[in-house]
Amino acid sequence: MAQSKSKSVLLLCGDFMEDYEAMVPFQALIAYGVSVDAVCPEKKAGDICRTAIHDLLGHQTYSESRGHNFTLNATFDEIDIDKYDGLVLPGGRAPEYLAINSSVQSLVRKFSDSRKPIASVCHGQLILAAAGLVRGRKCTAYPAVGPVLTAAGASWIEPESMAACVVDGNIITAATYEGHPEFIQLFVKALGGNITGSDKRILFLCGDYMEDYEVAVPFQSLQALGCHVDAVCPKKKAGDSCPTAVHDFEGDQTYSEKPGHNFTLTADFEGLDASSYDALVIPGGRAPEYLALNARVIAIVKEFMAARKPVASICHGQQILSAAGVLQGRKCTAYPAVKLNVELSGATWLEPDPIDRCFTDGNLVTGAAWPGHPQFISQLMALLGIQVAF
């Protein structure tokens, strides 16, 4: 459960910002009870920014493919700086052009002059450099940004890993989205947040072509709270990866699909002791179609439900719950196309209207799709007794 005293944050967006680096902090902070406005120069509330999926696939630099469409919820030209308690700068390719925008430079300087927390990741530090904010400050970034930061007078900290984060005064910097858990936690603390009840162990049931956001956003959001979070997949072990799918709503009669990030698993499926975890999370996407056929997956779900431990399932994840026979007499929602599975399993269907609406029934949290992550994560936090107070 999140408790907030009117904390408000600005997320500075641009076309082809990195997909995770925009959505993960955006939805995580909202789940914690923070109000987040996402803006982009020359765009208004309701407009979209294209995003880019950057991944390290063994080449000399990262790969890029198209990510989700990110919908802005505020208008850049109407920003009142005094309203906000902090600023987040995602990376990707957007900072290259945002850094030369005088309005952006002025905006960032005002946050700095007010000593408000500024959290910048990956290539976002190009904006800090252009605004003249890094001279004499310790900071890190994606390694290729190092020469620019050095030239701008920064005390460059070479990232020992892509999860590296550095704090210097009111400026928090991270190398890439791999560092989100620490990056977001540091930002929450800089906003005056206090996290309690997070000594929990949480298990994610993963599979190939699970939805990209539906695994990464709750996974990193829970890690940022201080939870121990493990991701497993049948026939795979710690260090292996699962390809993900980007499911988006682009005006067609159903969602579109594009390749997502590769998601790295953290534990072995074989020999897993499910009883050592306090909660279970089931992402959606296409993975649940085949995971629902796996006897061990079904046994794990039954074990959590029988123990009345929190189970949070989103989108197509409810196909697994249905196959496990644990929905009889329960109330739940899902992606609308999964309604048949839910009703045939003996559950009462709860209409997800709007699509971001989530529901809790006893130990069960269900959501329809990734736009509902803030409610989905917040409701799971409530079941686990996790609070963020400001």
Establish whether 228 is a catalytic residue.
no
HEC per residue, 149-189:
HHHCCCEECCCCCCCCEEEECCEEEECCHHHHHHHHHHHHH
Establish whether 373 is a catalytic residue.
no
Question: What is the separation of C-alpha 348 from the centre of its chain, rounded to a whole number of angstroms?
Answer: 29
Establish whether 315 is a catalytic residue.
yes
Instruction: Reduce the DSSP state of residue 10 to 3 states and report it.
Output: strand
Residues 6+ apart with CB under 8 A from 266: 229, 230, 231, 232, 238
- Is the sign of the CA dihedral 184, 272, 328, 294 positive or negative? positive
Instruction: State the Cα torsion 7-13-17-22 to the nearest 10°.
Output: 20
Instruction: Reduce the DSSP state of residue 215 to 3 states and report it.
Output: helix
Considering the candidates 315, 332, 358, 373, report the single residue annotated as catalytic. Answer: 315
Considering the candidates 180, 247, 316, 373, report the single residue annotated as catalytic. Answer: 316
Residues 6+ apart with CB under 8 A from 336: 352, 368
> Tokens at residue 282, please?
């089931």
Considering the candidates 122, 139, 165, 233, report the single residue annotated as catalytic. Answer: 122
Cβ atoms within 10 Å of 42's Cβ, excluding its own: 10
What's the rounded Cα separation, in Å, for the pair 93 and 99? 11
Establish whether 40 is a catalytic residue.
no
Considering the candidates 123, 180, 261, 373, report the single residue annotated as catalytic. Answer: 123
Q: What share of the chain is helix, strand, coil (3-state, %, to 5)?
A: 35, 30, 40
Residue 208 parent element (H or E): none
Instruction: Answer left, alpha or beta for residue 312, where phi above 0 means left and psi between -120 and 50 means alpha.
Output: beta
- Hey, which residues are catalytic here? 122-123, 315-316
